[in-house]
Amino acid sequence: MAPRIHPVILSGGAGSRLWPLSRESYPKQLLPLTGDHSLLQETALRAADPERFHPLIVIANAEHRFVIAEQLREIGARDPRIVLEPTARNTAAAVAVAALVASAQEAEALILVMPADHAIPDTQAFLAAIEGGLPAALQGQLVLFGIRPDSPATGYGYIRAGAPLAGRAHRVDAFVEKPDLATAEAYLDSGDYSWNSGIFLLPAATLLAELHAHEPAVLSAARIALDAASQDLDFCRLDAAGFAASPSISIDYAVMERTARAAVVPSDFLWSDVGAWGALWGLAERDPSGNVAIGDVVAERTAGSYLRSEGPLVAVVGVEDLIVVATPDAVLVAGRHADQEVKALVDRLKATNHTTAVQTRRVYRPWGWYEALHVGERFQVKRITVNPGGKLSLQQHAQRAEHWVVVNGTAEVELDGERRRLGENESIYVPLGAKHRLSNPSEVPLNLIEVQSGAYLGEDDIVRFEDAYART
């Protein structure tokens, strides 16, 4: 019987080329871009079979911890171990931590490293490829999965396969950086090259030994950060100083391009790293004119375009090969073949401190989310949704008062030591300086409208006295 594999999800990216839908505060892996589930959830579901896989190990950006935990809970993930990165250090440090975590559970652990933001529609074909790489991994090879190219793509790194090894694996003869078009066409014709998917099946002990040989500073930092980690509710929070000491380097550069143990399994499953809007256009079902239309969209005399609305009506006439994406606070219009340039646009927005570069209008919290509906002089109107069982902190504001109106659901309100329950169409006034807390005691979401008034309405005007989520 084949050994069970420890699945590892890397969830630290920002996905800025999919702006304005993907932003640092809520990146692409948390979004349902290709179906009903988010990319993170789809990745987790590929490794859900308990006969094949141990529970998940997720290496995550600390800022996204509660959303990730909630999304995994929604799909019934089995006791995931969520490890929080205090700062970004590329993939080598994250994989090192995952290998150490798995090795502590099982001396001969095999880890399957998967980025959280890839789209792979055919799970069975994916699992067949993993099985094809298992014999080589059990012999100590560091196995990565190559995707047989169906076009001369210049946006991916390539791998040249060499002599066959165990199972479906081949020795890696060469790693090649992103080629120009003529070179990519030659690779496609040769049949010897695969796209580098960034998915790995690794014997943890071998990976750690290779890190020790080639990038010992990465391994040392990972050990120190994990040894000094603290438990934060259900999360393992890596030591910040220890982790920051790691060089920022990818696992490809740190190990795979240096080791003599690199192997590749050329694979035929449909795969995309969803790196830009054009990739989503290619994955989606298109109408006879080659258009993808999602949300409130109307198109006339339009061809080859990706049109998406997350709120306002998008209406286009007489255009071709465009990307139009509208969110409540931003609209992107780009040539479909210029989709890689969106990142430069986001960098420009960041340079001017434009909030839309990093923050969505909807702000997620461990208890639910809120969204600003209108901001005026000395007042602000928000919609607040509290998840079933969710509870805001017991808090106080020095410069604003609040008025809450329940739209639907049941609210439990604590106000200066007194408790009240509010139902639909009921309201309560929270004076400036009052200690207050809002909870949802029911099994359905609570929705309310909050009207804030005062001289200062910033989110930092808050003093927390108690918090169920250990925030300060």
Q: Are 249 and 92 in contact (CB under 8 A)?
A: yes
Whether 58 and 108 map to the same domain: the answer is yes
Whether 132 and 244 map to the same domain: the answer is yes
What pLDDT is stored for residue 153 in this prediction? 84
Whether 236 and 293 map to the same domain: the answer is no
Whether 87 and 192 map to the same domain: the answer is yes
Q: Are 9 and 56 in contact (CB under 8 A)?
A: yes
The two tokens of residue 265 are 């399994």
User: Within 13 Å, how many C-alpha atoms sit on residue 378's CB side?
Assistant: 3
pLDDT tens column, 207-233: 999 999 999 999 999 999 999 999 988
Number of domains, the chain: 3
Whether 30 and 133 map to the same domain: the answer is yes
pTM of the model: 0.91
Question: Tokens 């300086």 appear where?
Answer: 433
Q: How far is CA 105 from CA 98, 102, 233, 242, in A?
A: 11, 5, 20, 22
Q: How far is CA 440 from CA 333, 414, 415, 423, 467, in A?
A: 40, 12, 15, 11, 15
Provide the CA 114 distance to its chain's centre, in angstroms: 11
Among 267, 302, 318, the domain-final residue is 267
Sign of CA dihedral 185, 188, 190, 193: positive
Q: What angle do CA 410, 415, 420 make, to 5 degrees?
A: 35
Whether 73 and 185 map to the same domain: the answer is yes
Alpha carbons 48 and 394: distance in angstroms, whole number: 37
The two tokens of residue 272 are 């995309």
Instruction: For strands 57-61 and 6-11, give the pairing.
Output: parallel
Q: Are 241 and 230 in contact (CB under 8 A)?
A: no
Whether 192 and 312 map to the same domain: the answer is no
Sign of CA dihedral 26, 28, 30, 32: positive
Q: What is the domain extent for residue 456? A: 362-466
What lies within 8 Å, CB to CB, of 19 at 6+ separation is 330, 332, 342, 343, 345, 346, 357
Among 237, 267, 297, the domain-final residue is 267
Q: How far is CA 146 from CA 125, 168, 173, 348, in A?
A: 13, 11, 13, 34
Among 304, 328, 351, the domain-final residue is 351
Tell me the DSSP string of 250-299: -HIIIIITT-S-EEEEEE-S--B---SHHHHHHHS---TTS-EEESSEEE
Residue 281 lies in a domain: no
Whether 295 and 367 map to the same domain: the answer is no
Give the residue from 91, 42, 82 showing the smallest Cα distance to 64.
Answer: 82
The two tokens of residue 36 are 């009903």
E-assigned strand segments in 345-462: 362-365, 368-376, 379-386, 394-396, 400-408, 411-415, 418-422, 427-430, 436-439, 446-454
CB count within 10 Å of CB 204 equals: 25
pLDDT tens column, 411-434: 999 999 999 999 999 999 999 999
Alpha carbons 174 and 161: distance in angstroms, whole number: 7
Alpha carbons 111 and 120: distance in angstroms, whole number: 19
Whether 195 and 312 map to the same domain: the answer is no
User: Within 13 Å, how many C-alpha atoms sit on residue 364's CB side?
Assistant: 18
Residue 241 lies in a domain: yes
Given a cut of 50, the residues of the chain with pLDDT beneath it are none
The two tokens of residue 324 are 């139009």
Whether 313 and 436 map to the same domain: the answer is no
Measured in degrees and rounded to the nearest 5, phi and psi for residue 50 equal: -70, -20
Contacts 24+ apart (CB under 8 A), 321-329: 323/277, 323/278, 323/281, 325/20, 325/21, 325/277, 326/295, 327/20, 327/21, 327/360, 327/361, 328/361, 328/371, 329/20, 329/356, 329/360, 329/361
